[in-house]
Amino acid sequence: MLKNMIFDMGGVLIPFNPPMFFRKFGITDEKEIELLDRIIVHSDEWHLTDQGYMTEEEMADRLLPLIPEHLQPAAKMMIFGWGPAEPTPGMEEFIQECKDLGLSVYVLSNASYRIDEYWDTLPGHSLFDGRVVSAWVHLLKPNPEIYEHLLLKYSLKPEECLFTDDSMKNVIGAENVGIHAIQFTGDIEAVRRERDRLMNGRERTKNGKQRCGKIA
């Protein structure tokens, strides 16, 4: 029986689309967007910051010298300003719906210590029963230990949880520790169907097409 919903933050509660972020700040050349995305978001420094081993200031000191001067304002906004964003449409209502059904709700996110600066802007922030952030525990999804940490901290049973994340590898990571999981593709209705299926105790179909995959 499902008792708990676990949500990723970036890509689920709020959009996480670095190319769109850069375009918002006036970068239109696709090669420049690709360069910024590669140097910043896909850097070791970005992951070290999410693990809590590096500050944004230290990341900027390392990465900004690698970026052309005219792109540095957008780079700084990505490093220091990412976080507050328009919520995923319908997400706050869905979280409230889960609470109304008697489910507990949690956040499990790869994020830096800065999360507290924008936590109050996230959809449903006041509804969550708990959260685990990678920087706090020096662990990144899909490391099994971060899922286990959440379960232990809040005394949750994995089989009573449904986790949704936009990253397939993070979805598989949750399933590997026994948590039900579904990839979030922007379709809240798909997550709702999986939630309702688990709440009603229905079995998956034999062909397994819904297993941790994208659901149309």
Within the chain, all domains assigned CATH 3.40.50.1000 are found at 4-15+87-199
- Residue 21 has a pLDDT of 87
- Residue 84 has a pLDDT of 61
Question: Mean pLDDT across the chain, nearest whole number?
Answer: 91
Q: Tens digit of pLDDT for each residue in 110-147?
A: 999 999 988 998 999 999 999 999 999 999 999 999 99
Strands 130-133 and 161-165: unpaired
pLDDT-derived band of residue 205, with 50, 70 and 90 as boundaries? very low
pLDDT tops 50 at residue 206: no
Give CATH for domain 4-15+87-199.
3.40.50.1000
Are the beta carbons of 52 and 135 closer than 8 angstroms? Answer: yes
Which residue has tokens 């996230």?
Answer: 122
For 142, residues 6+ apart whose C-beta sits below 8 A from its C-beta are: 167, 169, 170, 172, 173, 174, 176
Structure tokens belonging to residue 7: 């949500």
pLDDT tops 90 at residue 75: yes
- Residue 24 has a pLDDT of 85
Q: Tens digit of pLDDT for each residue in 26-40?
A: 899 999 999 999 999
pTM: 0.89
